[in-house]
């Protein structure tokens, strides 16, 4: 039997098949647009017209589920300038439009909610908050001041932040999103609590893995108790941080066991952080499906539908992952930036593989930043009604992206001054 025939024969059971989630929500196929930070908010850090235009493109992509980029639960914590920021009492009209556009082509749309913790750029705040006062370290003098010196969160502040995650999910529910994904990977705040490298606390939030997972579990339980029964709840979790002495596969397996009683609707497996960017394939030694080996282990211990993200490009690899039941959903990121409607071609059989050829730089940190800058450029182009196109110079594009980020950071600080008299990060 030829490989092409085999792919066609399996397709009815594979990526083209529907998936019913535990909450009753039905996804029309197994392809998910994974989260990528868009950076397209307006001056009030709400969804902008450019963001709407971008999601108009993605709503026609053919994907079963669209996961948004980082949406911030706390005005004092921003993963990058240009993020949408949630706050209690906000006008929901622009969020409702975003949710409506995302669903206009038959996809479901879930909001990814997040807090950066220590992974906050220094030009946004010099003193980010974190489980423990341990700074992000990226080799090279030029990166010494990229991130600020964090301060340790007090116990009462942790409880406030837990409630902010819960409030964010309620806002997303009211705005018409189909669900939320709690970001607990890639070195952001919840992942920082999980890792013994970044969490050296001696109180109820540190020490044992049970204590380090308490923040995440409290967030998920609180969301579960506060939203509609058919509202999706998912979590993005690192298989490992790929750092010696950090959050390891054995830890991740134990956390997944802790998640099982909560009866989540989705568990996304990824890996890495800014210091070790495995989510971009660094250090994984795999060309496709970076985290599928770990997903096999997770499948043995959980009934939560499993989304595996990282490196999928070939239809045959995607089909095999679904048909073999190593994954329930396949998450794809960068191809959506350069080929926004490729899923339709993949499902129809017109294309077998989607490629993204971004030249690599020798320095891992520079390579990661340049890749993210190149991807964000495509979001801006599509938000302006243009077609995606690689920049002529990755370095120059990254510099311009950093300049743009600093301009947005100034707008962000003015936004805080206008709207909030109290800043957690400056206490």
Task: State pLDDT tens for residues 263-308.
Answer: 999 999 987 655 554 444 444 445 456 788 888 999 999 999 999 9
pLDDT reading at 423 higher than 50: no
Per-residue pLDDT for 210 more than 80?
A: yes
Residue 289 lies in a domain: yes
What confidence tens digit (pLDDT) does each residue in 211-246 have?
999 999 999 999 999 999 999 999 999 987 765 667
Q: What is the dihedral of CA 363, 367, 370, 376, to 10 degrees?
A: -160
Report yes or no on 311 lying in a domain: yes
Provide the CATH number for the domain around residue 289.
3.20.20.70
Instruction: Tell me which residue range forms the domain holding 285.
Output: 10-358
Asked whether residue 403 is assigned to any structural domain, the reply reads: no
| Tens digit of each residue's pLDDT (9 = 90 or more) over 339-368 | 999 999 999 999 999 988 888 888 777 888
Domain assignment present for 166? yes
Tens-digit pLDDT profile for residues 34-65: 999 999 999 999 999 999 999 999 999 999 99
Tell me the C-alpha to C-alpha distance, in Å, between residue 126 and each of 149, 193, 220, 418.
Answer: 6, 20, 30, 20
pLDDT in the model for residue 281: 44
User: Does residue 402 form part of some domain?
Assistant: no
* In the predicted structure, residue 405 carries a pLDDT above the cut 60: yes
Q: How much is the mean pLDDT over the chain?
A: 89
pLDDT bin (cut points 50, 70, 90) of residue 80 is confident
158 lies in some domain: yes
Q: Is 240 helix (H, G, I), strand (E, B) or coil?
A: coil
How many domains, the chain?
1
Q: How far apart are CA 59 and CA 57, in angstroms?
A: 6
Does residue 338 fall inside a structural domain? yes
What lies within 8 Å, CB to CB, of 202 at 6+ separation is none
Q: How far is residue 145's CA from residue 180's CA, in Å, rounded to a whole number?
A: 33
Q: Could you tell me which of 206, 336, 179 has the C-alpha nearest to residue 268? A: 179
Strand 31-33 with 65-72, pairing = parallel
Q: How far apart are the first and last CA of the chain?
A: 67
DSSP calls for 41-78: B-TTSSB-HHHHHHHHHHHTS--SEEEEEEEES-TT--
158: nearest Cα among 112, 208, 214: 214
Instruction: Look at residue 128 and tell me if it is in a domain.
Output: yes
């Amino acid at each position: 039997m030829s490989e092409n025939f085999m792919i066609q024969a399996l397709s009815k059971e594979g990526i083209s098949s529907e998936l019913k989630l535990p909450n009753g929500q039905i996804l029309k196929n197994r392809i998910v647009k994974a989260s990528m930070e868009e950076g397209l908010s307006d001056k009030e850090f709400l969804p902008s017209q450019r963001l709407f235009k971008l999601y108009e493109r993605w709503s026609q992509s053919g994907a079963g589920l669209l996961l948004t980029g980082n949406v911030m639960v706390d005005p004092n914590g921003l993963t990058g300038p240009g993020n949408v920021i949630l706050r209690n009492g906000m006008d929901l009209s622009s969020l409702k439009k975003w949710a409506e556009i995302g669903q206009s082509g038959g996809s479901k749309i879930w909001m990814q909610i997040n807090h950066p913790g220590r992974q906050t750029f220094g030009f946004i705040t010099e003193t980010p908050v974190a489980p423990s006062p341990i700074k992000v370290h990226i080799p090279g003098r030029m990166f010494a001041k990229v991130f600020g010196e964090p301060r340790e969160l007090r116990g009462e502040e942790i409880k406030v932040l837990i409630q902010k995650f819960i409030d964010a999910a309620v806002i997303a529910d009211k705005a018409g999103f189909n669900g939320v994904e709690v970001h607990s990977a890639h070195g952001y705040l919840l992942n920082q609590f999980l890792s013994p490298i970044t969490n050296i606390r001696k109180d109820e939030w540190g020490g044992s893995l049970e204590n380090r997972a308490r923040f995440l579990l409290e967030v998920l339980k609180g969301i579960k108790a506060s939203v509609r029964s058919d509202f999706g709840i998912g979590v993005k979790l690192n298989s490992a941080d790929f750092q010696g002495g950090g959050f390891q596969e054995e830890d991740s397996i134990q956390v997944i066991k802790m998640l099982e009683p909560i009866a989540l609707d989705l568990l996304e497996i990824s890996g890495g952080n800014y210091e070790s960017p495995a989510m971009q394939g660094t250090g994984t030694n795999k060309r496709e499906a970076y985290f599928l080996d770990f997903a096999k282990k997770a499948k043995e211990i959980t009934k939560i539908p499993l989304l595996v993200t990282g490196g999928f490009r070939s239809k045959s690899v995607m089909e095999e992952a679904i048909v073999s039941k190593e994954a329930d959903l396949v998450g794809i990121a960068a191809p959506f930036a350069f080929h926004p409607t490729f899923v339709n071609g993949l499902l129809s059989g017109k294309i077998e593989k989607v490629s993204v050829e971004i030249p690599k730089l020798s320095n891992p940190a520079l390579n990661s930043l340049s890749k993210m800058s190149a991807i964000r450029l495509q979001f801006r182009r599509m938000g302006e009604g243009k077609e995606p196109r690689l920049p002529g110079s990755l370095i120059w594009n990254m510099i311009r992206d950093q300049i743009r980020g600093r301009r947005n950071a100034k707008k962000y600080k003015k936004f805080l001054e206008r709207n909030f008299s109290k800043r957690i990060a400056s206490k």
